[in-house]
Structure formats: structure tokens, C-alpha cells
Amino acid sequence: MLSNRIGIILVTALAPAIWGTTYLVTTELLPPDRPLLAATVRALPAGLLLVLLTRRLPQGAWWWRAMVLGALNIGVFFALLFVAAYRLPGGVAATITALQPLLVAGLAAGLLGERLTRRIVLAGLAGVAGVSVLVLRADARMDALGVAAALGSAVVMATGVVLSKRWTSPAPLLATTGWQLVAGGLLLLPVTLLVEGPPPAGLTGENLAGYAYLATIGAALAYALWFRGIRALSPTDVTFLGLLSPLVATTLGWLALDQRLTVPQALGGLVVLAALVSAQTGRKPARAPESVPVAASVPEPAPEPSGEVPSGAGPSGGTPSVSSTSST
């Protein structure tokens, strides 16, 4: 059980690690000053591809649920992040959005009944401190609208993560991922055209390669891994992995772009890793089910085996996931 959980955590961690490459791909391969176009191209084609591959459309309540989750996890999140990125230095925006694990932990306590422990709160505060040391600059300026947008992006993404756990889709993972990407992309499309206009003419091969990477690896693969982690783990565990994004982005800037990495930044990165590891450890064992009195358990002989799998025991029958048996 423990090794399986560690494996799921490591695979889920690939998603924020991939998202950490977005800065490098954007600066080196994409046309300048088109962040909303990058977000739209990242979401909509990837979602359409997954829907075509799975050939599954939402049913019943999942039409509006997919729209809500797509807006929270992708559409509104990217739009607010765009405003924050334009009005704030990157370090300020990253530090504010690092509050997301604490927000998820609070929402999970209220909506999912998970325990909000002192370890999680301290790990969340350490994560914010580590990210601020890693990316924040002393001359960073503050802007009220930018700060509000950054906080809003953290809130909507945190809500989307918790609701993704609360609303378990009966459809395959790739289909559910595709629905959300399409919904988020369709929400972004008119905003992109209104704010940035049509795509620039004469896109280069590098531009197309960058957009292809963001759509296939940065969206289709990364979001599938992310939502798979939410299905299998506590949303609090998953969202702490998001702290890897600024760490990977800073490391790639140092390795590939020859950006300076100071000793305080390195220490901030170690604090981020410590917070991430601390959030995944120190968990209490699952509570054993209440015992049934013997007199109530033997009035009738057991039926003959029928070879059928009991309801709830199969992979899609509601067997409790790791998160439902753990404390956060």
C-alpha cells in the first residue's frame, strides 16, 4: 500500500514538473506578449484530441459539471493568472499562488471532511516562505488589481481541485480530462480574441513546436496525470506537489538560460522540498471499521459463492481511495 501510494505521488508530481517548463518554452519558442493565446492553444486542441480519442461525451449532470470544473481548473484560472502576470512581477504572483495548498486544505476540511492538521498548516506556510525566497525580488512592486487576480487564481484553482475530488466522474479519466480542457479552452477563446486579437501571421516552426509541446505534454499528458492523482490521493497531497512548478522553472532558468542562482534561492528551494515532503508524511493509519456483534453476524448461513464481484469492490465500484482513509 505504501509503495503504491509513493508511486502515485511520484507520477502525479510529473504534472507540476512539466508545468514548470512552461516559462522556458514560452520565452524561447513562442511569440512574445501572447499569454492568452498560449493558454487557449494549450487547452482547446488538447481537449478536442482527448475527446476524439475516447469518443465519450458528458452525460446528465456532467455537462454542467464539466463546464464548472473546466472554468475553475483551466479557463478562469488562466485568465486571472494572465492578469496577475501582467500587473505583478513573476515572483510576487508565484508567492501569492503558493497559498493554494493552504486553501485546498481548508476547502477539503469543509467540503470533504478531511482533517486540517498542524503539520499541514506549517508545511503550507513553509511552502509560501520557500517560494518567496526562491523567486521574490527585493524591488518587487505591488499592484492591488494584480494581487487580487493572483489571489483569485489560487482560490478558483483550489476550488477546482477539491470539487474534482468531490465529483467523481463515471467516465474514463482521459474523457473527463478532455471535457475540462475543451470547456476551459472555449471559455478562453473569446477572451483571447478580444484582448489579443487573432493569432499572429507567419508563425515560425519554433512557434508551432512550442504550441505543440504545450498542448500535448503541457496539457493533455500533464492534466491527465494531475486529475489521476486527485482521484487516487487527498487533494491536499496533490496540491502540495504544485510547489514543484516554481522550483523546476527556477532550476531550468539556471541550467538552460544561464540565470543566476543565489545561495538564498537554493535554501528557498530546499525549504520548498521540505514542505512538500512534510505534507506527504506523518499520516495516521486508516481507522478500522466498527466491529459487528457476533450475534448479529450469524443468524443465517452464508449463501453459496456465485462468482460475482460484490458491488463497490471493483475498480469503479466506489472502493475507498487512499485519500478517504487518511488524515491531512
Helix (H, G, I), strand (E, B) or coil at 49: helix
Residue 137: pLDDT band with limits 50, 70, 90: confident
Cell triple for 34: 501572447
pTM: 0.81
The angle, 0 to 180 degrees and rounded to 10, between the axes of the packed helices 118-135 and 100-111 is 160
DSSP conformation class of 299: S
HSE value, Cβ hemisphere, 13 Å, CA-based, for 201: 0
Q: What confidence score (pLDDT) does residue 140 get? A: 66
Per-residue model confidence (pLDDT) at position 275: 94
What digits encode the pLDDT tens for the residues 205-250? 999 999 999 999 999 999 999 999 999 999 999 999 999 999 999 8
Beta strands per DSSP E along the chain: none
User: Is residue 90 very low, low, confident or very high in pLDDT (cuts 50, 70, 90)?
Assistant: low
Residues 240, 279 contacting (CB under 8 angstroms): yes
What pLDDT score does 76 carry?
94
Residue 261 is predicted with a pLDDT of: 86
Cα–Cα nearest to 278, from 159, 91, 92, 101? 101
For residues 143-164, give the mean pLDDT. Answer: 93
Alpha-carbon distance of 213 to 42, in angstroms, equals 8
**Residue 312's pLDDT band (boundaries 50, 70, 90)?**
very low
* Residue 187 grid coordinates: 471559455
Residue 269, CA atoms < 13 Å, CB-side half-sphere: 16
282 pLDDT above the threshold of 70: no
* Under 8 Å between Cβ of 128 and 49: no
Rounded to an integer, what distance in angstroms lies between the CA atom of residue 134 and that of residue 270?
A: 9
Residue 218 gets which letter from DSSP? I
- Contact by Cβ (8 Å): 103, 152: no
Q: How far apart are CA 94 and CA 99, in angstroms?
A: 9
Cα distance between residue 76 and residue 69, in whole Å: 10
156 touches 44 (CB < 8 A)? no
Between CA 188 and CA 40 the distance in angstroms is: 6
Cell 455537462 sits on residue? 63
> What's the half-sphere exposure (Cβ side, CA atoms, 13 Å) at 189?
9
Cβ atoms of residues 178 and 215 within 8 Å: no
Q: Is the pLDDT of residue 192 over 60?
A: yes
From residue 60, give the alpha-carbon distance in Å to each of 3, 182, 212, 274, 283: 37, 17, 32, 43, 37
The whole-number pLDDT of residue 266 equals 92
Q: What is the pLDDT of residue 287?
A: 39
- With CA atoms as reference, report the closest residue to 184 among 233, 144, 151, 227: 227
Distance of CA 73 to the CA centre of its chain: 8
Tens digits of residue pLDDT in 263-276: 999 999 999 999 99
